Amino acid sequence: MPGYELWGEEEKKHLNDVIESGILMRYNFESARNNHWKAKEFEQAIQKRMHVSHAQLTSSGTSALLTALNAAGVGAGDEVILPTFTFVASFEAVLSVGAIPVLVDIDDTLTLDPKAVEKAISSRTKVIMPVHMCGAMADISALKELAKKNKLLLIEDACQAFGGTYRGKYLGTIGDLGCFSFDFVKTVTCGEGGAVVTNKDEYYVHADQYTDHGHDHIGNNRGAENHPYLGLNYRISELHAAVGLAQFEKLDQILSIQRKNKKVLKDALREVEGVNYRRVPDEAGDNASFLSIFLPSQELAKKVSLELSTKGIGNAYWYDNNWHYIRKWDHLKLLKSLAPLYKEHKELLPNYANADYSQSDEIISKTVTIPISLLWNDEELAKKAEIINSAVSSILTKK
């Protein structure tokens, strides 16, 4: 699953380029950097491969989300529709710009249910934010049509699906803006890093400026640059960009291994009665970093998860997970922030604690997800497939 599993000489080579120059910052110091511009190279590589006009690297996937929202002018009182199953960074970013996270149910894609989205659209809605969870895409055609029909922005959180595609287009490049994460356990890692991509020149200019304290980056004298807008420091370092550049060159290899390994595990469960799978709108575009299975009931899903863990098969039972599903987001439900929220902001927030997410509960409580490793050899893979088949079969035959 994570790119760090394929760490090697390529990363060391790019890192050494930076270390030997001593220039760790992505901007300026032209005469001392030996013509090494790792952040620029990485951005250009993303643009070329993903057929997108602009890429702006950031310090994390979270800062990428914050940058995208700011670049598009999303702020005080604007509603952003996002799913109940995501990573906490999605709603954290929305709250941090003064906007309102409107959480709605998922469907059998494990991502936003377009019907739930349509019901949630109000006069305050400004953004639909699909989150492409666990390597595969949301029902992006339906969501894009909803955005177009209602004149809303579509911002893709593709942090968990880097390299995935939908009908030939890379996830993250289909909406108005897209966000990626390159943290340590993502498909491609920088150690810490992220990116915003867009085909809109205005959004790119805003993203470029916002991530560097509002610098306009015009001219070659950093101290003389103007600041058209307020910004923050979400810059990526050259060291992190160097790692990401090396990792990005391995993307085809990573995706190929994941898809092969996932198919073997999935095939091992095909004949097991009672096992179903998430719906993937474009199977060919799945980046295959996870295998998610649906079990007949919550009770059986918990038993399967425990049995797999006992047998040495890592897995996630999201219904009890603290980071990814709303059931355990008490800090959001109770609005526990280090600093107080504005009264007006707080009054606009939904009552998350008492909202009805029974459709999401029904789906997530029956879901078990197995991460796909890049390090399994054929023998290990076959053994894991056998263990998974045996563990799941033993639970389901006892039901």
What is the 3-state secondary structure of 276-294?
EECCCCCHHHCCCCEEEEE
**Judgement on whether residues 178 and 282 belong to the same structural domain of the protein:** no
**Judgement on whether residues 321 and 357 belong to the same structural domain of the protein:** yes
pLDDT digit string (tens) for 71-94?
999 999 999 999 999 999 999 999
**Judgement on whether residues 201 and 119 belong to the same structural domain of the protein:** yes
pLDDT digit string (tens) for 48-65?
999 999 999 999 999 999
Last residue of a domain, one of 234, 251, 268: 251
Of 102, 157, 104, 91, give the one whose Cα is nearest residue 126. 102
Per annotation, catalytic residue among 38, 126, 186, 302: 186
**Judgement on whether residues 76 and 11 belong to the same structural domain of the protein:** yes
Tell me how many domains the chain contains. 2
**Judgement on whether residues 109 and 240 belong to the same structural domain of the protein:** yes
Last residue of a domain, one of 251, 281, 314: 251
Q: What is the pLDDT of residue 2?
A: 86
CATH number at residue 232: 3.40.640.10
Of 79, 38, 72, 390, give the one whose Cα is nearest residue 249. 38
pLDDT digit string (tens) for 308-344?
999 999 999 999 999 999 999 999 999 999 999 999 9
Q: What is the pTM of this model?
A: 0.97
Last residue of a domain, one of 226, 251, 276: 251
In angstroms and rounded to an integer, the radius of gyration of the C-alpha atoms of the chain is 22
Q: How far is CA 295 from CA 292, 317, 325, in A?
A: 10, 11, 18
To the query of whether residue 186 is one of the catalytic residues in this protein, the response is: yes
**Judgement on whether residues 271 and 162 belong to the same structural domain of the protein:** no
Range of the domain at 69: 3-251
